[in-house]
A and B are shown apart, each in its own frame.
Chain A
Amino acid sequence: MNKQVPLLFLNVIIIATCGLIYELLAATVSSYVLGDSVTQFSLVIGIYLSAMGVGSWLSGYLDKDLAKRFVEIELAVAVIGGFSAPLLFLTFASLSYFNLILYGTVFVIGALVGLEIPLLMRILKDELDFKKLVARVLALDYAGALVASLLFPIFLVPKLGLIRTSLLFGLLNAGVGIWGTWLLENLIKKRELTILRIKGFIVVILLLVALIKADSLTTLAEDALFADNIIYAKSSSYQRIVVTKGKTGYSLFLNGNLQFNSFDEYRYHEALVHPAFAAHDGQPKRILVLGGGDGLAVREILKYPSIESVTLVDLDPLMTQISKSVPALGELNKNSLNDARVSVVNNDAFVWLDANNAEPFDIAIIDFPDPNNFALGKLYTTRFYNLLKKKLKPDSAIVIQTTSPLFARKSFWCIMKTLEASGFHVKPFNTTVPSFGIWGYALAKLEPFEAPQKPSENIELKFLNENSFASMFEFSADTNLPKDEEIEINRLDNQALVRYYESEWRRFE
């Protein structure tokens, strides 16, 4: 067996490399999806190392069949480590107890890896004297770590991606396990050898299949996520909130849908807020914002010196909280939600309007996500607009974001008809926001009015000027009211809008 010893040392290098790779994978995946890489890296490393300690300690309880155990542990590491990255990506999107899975996986891999080296040393102890054994094994162990830490950022992540790397190193581990059944042949009973080899091949086949399918796995998980770095990600009871930072700036995603990109959000928000002020004849004092928990609409509102109070109603306390506390967002919204005039209410706007008897407002800005489900669809119904009317004065002005008149043309005009059916006079308008495409809004009042032609005086604006302002009220041939189609009014008891929206956006999926 003596001539096999160098080969077993090669195993040590491979094992060590694999171990560190899994650790790096877990840390990267978690900082990728959870944000806050410093915390994620130190937690993962800490848990991993302590789990290795637990594994080493447990190795003291293994007395018999060391070679067989060694091979089995290799195979276990191959499966768990190899599938760790795909598992983490797939569960991240759907599970609220993702953290548990993450740290659990890290711990199990760590413990198994912690078992490997002591076992190998005990297997080798009859071949070498103790002094040399410890020196070589540990040296190679650390060398393996170096190999891993160099390969990982330079080659593996950029060339293979996280999922393929994970599966590939699983294969290496499985290889070591199977190879071990030959290297340690004399130390394992004949019958068990066959069983171990069969197990080994099953593991290899599983990993190979996954590797071949890795492309679809990757699109499922990794690529379907975000192109940019995640700087914040957390699930509230209502939605998954992700903030990314990329070349063009910061982006906010709710349930994977882009809400804004800092590069052009000013276009969206200036169009959302200033037409309402331009259409208001007096000095607007009390402002209502429904949705808009990112604080960007409020930033625009606070540009008007006449403002005395802003009431912002947003469903998600986490959203409004991070708009105050995540520095990138606070900077972008100019800390608007911390302004003394702003009060934040966390409630479903429908429920709030129904139950609340707040004094009427001068201006209302309504910035809900698009009506892609029934819970959102109710926020665009005649009932909703009738509830809203009770919170307005005769001369109040409102603006509503009303999805894209290009991509969802019927949906857009359905909202206009619904507003009219609720007793509003409506001036539809649209503008271009590169991140979204052509985007639509409704400017509405309870009294007849002319569409304003320019923004109010003395307000500092980046996008709107006299030219761009007036042109927003023009619709092109492919976005204006479809002539030959009947469009229903959106009511609670028909939710026509959700149906339109579904069928229109499905074309682009």
Chain B
Amino acid sequence: MKLTRREILTAFFGLPFALSACRSNSENKPVAGEIVGANVDVGHILRENRNYEVPNNNWENVKVAIIGGGAAGLSAAYKFQKSDFSDFVLLELENKIGGTAQSGTSDIVPYPWGAHYLPVPFQENAELIALLDEMSLTEGVKETGEIIVKEQFLCREPEERVFYKGRWYHGLYLHAGESETDKREYEEFYKQVDFWVNWRDSNGKRAFVLPVADCSRDADVLALDKLSFGDWLRQKGFTSERLFWYCDYACRDDYGLKLDQTSAWAGLFYFCSRVRKSGDESQPFITFPEGNGRFINFLSDKIKDKTRLKTVVLEIVPSEKGVDVIYLNTANNEIRGLRCEKAIFAAPVFTARFLIRDFKKGAPAHLQEFEHNAWFVANLFLKDRPKTRFARDFPLAWDNVLYESPSLGYVNSTHQKGLDYGAAVFTYYYPMCHEENARAKLFALDHQELADIVLTDLSRAHPNIRELTEKIDVMRWGHAMISPRPNFLWSGARDEAQKPFRNIHFAHSDLSGIALFEEAFYHGIRAASEIISAK
């Protein structure tokens, strides 16, 4: 059944906003652009749960197959390269490398389709720092031992602004118009954050740090995973609406979940894991016009000859001697097989039950605990940027957030390049955590409907956004991010899932329970190291 515009807008933004939006521009011109990304049919093929036969002459031998060309799979390949191991291939189902960190290119600037920044890692994260060094992003170390990232790769000021009741304000937390209670609670909240920043267990481990694998497993910390972040705030006596908004925004931004859907452990992780010690600022952001696509391109450039795109792994069959990987080449619809000694499974964890032959009949229980949420991301190609409407409005920033919207607002891709005038690319993010049945709803919408949602939302702040927009491309992420809901992160499921199954090693960032580049990198390196050290 086709939904009306009003029904769609109501589903996304609530009735009052939908009504006023429908009143003000009932007839909208179609917008150019398309839905990009993976073919939906591929998912259906995988769910058919069939066993596949490979014609005899379509078999090849290769020592290791990496399944999935996202940040995790590419990091595994990077580790192989660094260890002078070259008998591997990387299989990626899309026609483009990078998974949720992929990027696109335009005449103006490249732009992200998902991940767009990386906080400067702490000095302890040596392997990741080595990558940054290799990419020439750094210039030495401070006296404290922390690395110095070159100025042009750190997010340029102004970093964030928030739109509230018709005006733009500096920063993400809304200070304008806050009451005494708001102020006190905001300070009190940061005292709580400080407490956890400084907290150490008996072995000297931090409560929250990247990678998640280095976090303390002390019962006091893990207890935080048993309740939602919203409940935690309420238990601590917080009431400030804007503080709740701020924390809710953080959860939606990093996890694609609402405050009450997110584990308090994950909520505090967001605020604590990038602060060295109390009083310090959170680690600054490394960003590029194309977002984390810069890392993807750097990693994938080195292994172009070992990368197979448009390659859907259909089945992984562990054997006595090794593991067989069966894939479909969607370019010519040919089914081929790889006889490998080992495989690195760097595709989302939930797909293991459709791919690994032993799991098809009955998947291990821990796999059921890996839940994902749906997002969509739109890139708007603007012929000119929206003008500031009021003299005191805070100007266009890198991240531009709408307080009253369930979306996350948009990131301006021209910002980091220093382009301050004229044409721009805005990347709009919408985590579908407010909707029931989000994934089905998302895939029921066509391009025009999604574009209309984006434009209607942004027209709150930019009434002429429709005239400025020349094209909107949309990416639907059906399984965008792993969901760190309460009782998932420390239930033991992740530990189970991380154990190799016969000759298959697992690497996807899902294993951390938190969708971050650092985690994907960590698991890629770890899985590759497991294989190298077994040799």
- Shortest beta-carbon distance, B119 to chain A, in Å? 13
- A237 to B395, alpha carbons, bound, how many Å? 17
Q: Is B306's beta carbon under 8 Å from chain A?
A: no
With beta carbons under 8 angstroms apart, the residue of B156, B420, B421 that contacts A492 is B156
- A492 to B149, alpha carbons, bound, how many Å? 12
Contact status B151-A350, CB under 8 Å: no
Q: Is B154's beta carbon under 8 Å from chain A?
A: yes
Chain B hits for A381, CB < 8 A: 151
**Size band of the interface chain B makes with A:** 10 to 19
Contact status A492-B154, CB under 8 Å: yes
A383's closest neighbor in chain B, by CB? B151
**Contacts between chains A and B (CB distance < 8 A), count:** 49
Chain B 217-264 interface residues, beta-carbon cutoff 8 Å to A: none
Chain A contact residue count (CB 8 A cutoff): 22
Contacts A378-B156, A493-B284; A348 near B420 (Cβ below 8 A): yes
Q: Is B157's beta carbon under 8 Å from chain A?
A: yes
- Shortest beta-carbon distance, A486 to chain B, in Å? 17
- A238 to B419, alpha carbons, bound, how many Å? 13
Contact status B151-A491, CB under 8 Å: yes
Interface residues of B: mostly helix, strand, loop or mixed?
loop
B421's closest neighbor in chain A, by CB? A238
Chain B hits for A377, CB < 8 A: 157
- A282 to B419, alpha carbons, bound, how many Å? 36
- A374 to B415, alpha carbons, bound, how many Å? 11
- Shortest beta-carbon distance, A348 to chain B, in Å? 7
Q: Is B417's beta carbon under 8 Å from chain A?
A: yes
Contact status A350-B155, CB under 8 Å: no
Q: Is A373's beta carbon under 8 Å from chain B?
A: yes
Question: Contact mask A367-390 → B, CB, 8 Å, 1/0?
Answer: 000000111011001110010000
Chain A hits for B151, CB < 8 A: 381-383, 386, 491-493
- Shortest beta-carbon distance, B530 to chain A, in Å? 38
- A237 to B384, alpha carbons, bound, how many Å? 10
A351's closest neighbor in chain B, by CB? B418
Contact status B418-A354, CB under 8 Å: yes
Chain B 49-87 interface residues, beta-carbon cutoff 8 Å to A: none
Q: Is A495's beta carbon under 8 Å from chain B?
A: yes
- Shortest beta-carbon distance, A403 to chain B, in Å? 19
Q: Is B158's beta carbon under 8 Å from chain A?
A: yes
- Shortest beta-carbon distance, B389 to chain A, in Å? 10
Q: Is A45's beta carbon under 8 Å from chain B?
A: no
Q: Is A494's beta carbon under 8 Å from chain B?
A: yes
Question: Contact mask B415-446 → A, CB, 8 Å, 1/0?
Answer: 00111111000000000000000000000000
Contacts A374-B395, A383-B152; A315 near B421 (Cβ below 8 A): yes
Chain B 374-399 interface residues, beta-carbon cutoff 8 Å to A: 384, 395
Chain A 94-123 interface residues, beta-carbon cutoff 8 Å to B: none
Chain B hits for A350, CB < 8 A: 418
Contact status A493-B157, CB under 8 Å: yes
**Interface hub of A354, A386, A493 (most chain B Cβ within 10 A):** A493
- Shortest beta-carbon distance, A44 to chain B, in Å? 28
Contacts A492-B151, A493-B151, A493-B284; A375 near B421 (Cβ below 8 A): yes
| Extra 15 A-B pairs, beta carbons < 8 Å, given A351-B419, A494-B157 | A238-B421, A315-B421, A348-B419, A348-B420, A348-B421, A351-B417, A354-B418, A374-B420, A378-B156, A383-B152, A492-B154, A492-B156, A493-B154, A493-B156, A495-B158
Q: Which residue numbers of B lie inside 8 Å of A, CB to CB?
A: 151-152, 154-158, 284, 384, 395, 417-422
Q: Which 7 A-B pairs have the closest CB atoms?
A: A375-B420, A495-B157, A493-B154, A492-B156, A350-B418, A383-B151, A492-B151
